[in-house]
Amino acid sequence: MDTCKAPITRLLIDTFGEDHRRIHHALDVLKHAERIAETAGNCDAEVLIASALLHDIGFKQSEAELGCNDGHTREKVGPPVAEKPLAGIGFPPKKTKKVCEIIGSHHSPSRYDYAEPAVLMQADAAVNRNEGGRPAGRERRILCPAHARGKQTPEEPS
């Protein structure tokens, strides 16, 4: 179980560099997720570790590509950002697919019937509450208009 923690933590650090608050947030989410998983049962430890550590991996790319950042844009941008580095460390392809599905839905009602998405959502929510109810890095977070998330605003024609 723990054999994947170090290389995935390295991916997290490589992605966020000196953004210690974002790194700390992900580590806290992992700690909570592992605790929750003890009672949830039927969780794949490697999928849970990767999902918890990389759940916000789309943060920087969302801002770079869309000029904004919120949970929905991270859901959109995060999975492709996570896929290549996970493959690069030899993470199993079936598990990578599952991790990307979880990253792509961790701010929305889950479309998947396995345990890990619910565990991650609960852990992320707990950490966000502990951080004062605000996602880590919120002071730098640029909220997205609806069209950046792929939705039309009332002013936009159908």
Does residue 110 have a pLDDT over 70? no
Say which residue, 121 or 72, is predicted with more confidence. 121
Give the count of beta carbons closer than 10 Å to the beta carbon of residue 89. Answer: 14
Average pLDDT, the chain: 80
Q: Write phi, then psi, for 46 (nearest 5 degrees).
A: -65, -40
Query: How confident is the model at residue 60, as a pLDDT?
Result: 78
* DSSP notation for 72-93: HHHHHHHHHHHHHHHHHTT--H
153: helix, strand or coil = coil
Does residue 71 have a pLDDT over 80? no
Domains recognised in the chain with CATH numbers: 2-149 (1.10.3210.10)
- What percentage of the chain exceeds 90 in pLDDT? 46
Say which residue, 122 or 111, is predicted with more confidence. 122
Q: What angle do CA 26, 80, 5 make, to 5 degrees?
A: 35
pTM beyond 0.85: the answer is: no
**DSSP category for residue 2:** G
Q: 5-28: per-residue pLDDT in tens?
A: 999 999 999 999 999 999 999 999
Q: 120-135: per-residue pLDDT in tens?
A: 989 998 998 988 755 4
Does residue 48 have a pLDDT over 80? yes
Identify which of 85, 23, 7 has the alpha carbon closest to the alpha carbon of residue 56.
23
Q: 50-64: per-residue pLDDT in tens?
A: 999 999 898 877 777
